[in-house]
Structure 1
Amino acid sequence: MALTHKDLDALDAAIASGTLSVEFDGRRMTYQSTGALIEARNHVSRVVNSSATNRGPATFRFNFTTSRGD
């Protein structure tokens, strides 16, 4: 299951409303405390933000040397 901004929004809404249950893709998760809910939110935030980072194309440099053997 890939984590998305929608999942992050659901966690934010649960924290704001004070509930401990969140639904992801039709599956309900109930956390033991608000602290656990906040930890889950921080984890989802890190995963979503790291996957959204555009690293761009990799750049390679090649150095060629030749010897003629004269």
Structure 2
Amino acid sequence: MAFTQQNLDAIENAIATGTLSIEYNGKRVTYRSMSDLMRARDVIKSELAKQQSNSAPRSSVATYQRF
């Protein structure tokens, strides 16, 4: 599943307010504990970081020598 910044924002808001339920895209998810919620946040952060690193433009550097 591709996560979005909105998913991360919803989870961080729930953590900040002490709420175990979040809703996004018309779906409601209720976590069993704050610890589960925080693990989900960490997974989403990790996936978003991977998405950003995969979409970042790559550059290459070449070294030329004159003979």
Name the TM-score, length of structure 2 as normaliser.
0.78
Q: Which residue of 2 aligns with 1:25?
A: 25
- Is 1:56 the equivalent of 2:45? no
Q: Which residue of 2 aligns with 1:2?
A: 2
Q: Which residue of 1 aligns with 2:38?
A: 38
Q: Deviations over 1:12-43 (max 9, x none)?
A: 00000000001121100000000000000000
Unaligned runs of 5+ in 2: 61-67
Q: Using the alignment, how far apart are the partners of 2:25 and 2:14 within structure 1?
A: 15
Which amino acid in the other structure matches residue 56 of structure 1? R
Unaligned runs of 5+ in 1: 59-70
Q: Using the alignment, how far apart are the partners of 1:55 and 1:47 within structure 2?
A: 18
Structure 1 runs, 4 residues or longer, greater than 6 Å off: none
Between structure 1 and structure 2, the one with the greater Rg is 1
Q: CA RMSD in A?
A: 1.7
